[in-house]
Amino acid sequence: FSLCFKLRDKIEIENDDIVYCGLALFLLTSDADVMNELRGVRIQDENLSKILELAMRKLRKGDISEEIAVLEEREKRKEMMLLLELLKRA
Check residue 11 and give its pLDDT. Answer: 46
Check residue 80 and give its pLDDT. Answer: 93
| Digit-coded pLDDT (tens) for 22-81 | 899 899 998 888 888 888 888 899 999 999 999 999 988 989 999 999 999 999 999 999
Helix H or strand E segment including 35: helix 32-38
Global pTM value? 0.80
CA 31 to chain centroid: 13
- Confidence band for 2, pLDDT divided at 50, 70 and 90: low
Half-sphere exposure for 46 (CA within 13 Å, toward CB): 3
- Confidence band for 4, pLDDT divided at 50, 70 and 90: low
